[in-house]
Amino acid sequence: MTGQRPPSNRGGRGLCAACAHPSQPVINSELAAGTSFRSLSARFNISRPALKAHKTNHLSPALIAVHRSGGAGDVLEQLRDLVSRARRWLDSAEQMGNSAQGLAAIREARETLALVARGTGELEPDRNATAVDLIHSAEWMEARDMILDVLSQFPEAKQAMIERLRVLNRSENGKAPSQARVGR
């Protein structure tokens, strides 16, 4: 079997081979930097069409723009350095028992990590995910009404359920308690 290439790293139906690859961050960075599909295909054993589709559909436009401007390494390295420094400040604050400084360091590290993740494409929402609004679905409303009907035999339990549903409705809709309509 010498001289033969191993089977191509395929993602399968609905799966992206580059996203599933253990070297995805490196692949993303090199795609953004403009490394040829042929070179990456040979190196990571992913087909050229799969790499092209990954770049088009899954790579962060921000990462590509930063690489095109020539500053990707610098910007990402600086952000990573900031994360490292924020972590050191957090360690220092924990050792000194300074909670205000610790919280500020956590906040800074979180924001910087989010920036790095957005820049590398790690924090992009899944474009294939489907959001489902259960609170306003007909099925939930029907189930809710059936639950409240059954709880009619137990007025205290029904009232407790109505209160919990109001809290849920408020948190979903951002409405004040008087605006939430739950119960009958």
Give the Cα separation of 5 and 1 in Å (integer).
9
Question: What is the number of other CB atoms lying within 10 angstroms of the CB of residue 134?
Answer: 10
Q: With a cut of 60, say whether residue 153 has pLDDT above it.
A: yes
Co-location of 47 and 79 in the same domain: no
Co-location of 54 and 77 in the same domain: no
Whether 160 is in a domain gets the answer yes
Tens digits of per-residue pLDDT, 70-111?
555 566 677 777 778 888 888 888 888 888 887 888 888 888
As a whole-number percent, the residues of the chain with pLDDT over 70 amount to 69
Q: 142: domain range?
A: 138-179
Co-location of 53 and 75 in the same domain: no
Write phi, then psi, for 89 (nearest 5 degrees). Answer: -60, -40
Instruction: Tell me the CA distances in angstroms from 52 to 7, 48, 61, 161, one per residue in order.
Output: 19, 6, 14, 52
Looking at the 3D structure of the chain, how many domains does it have?
3
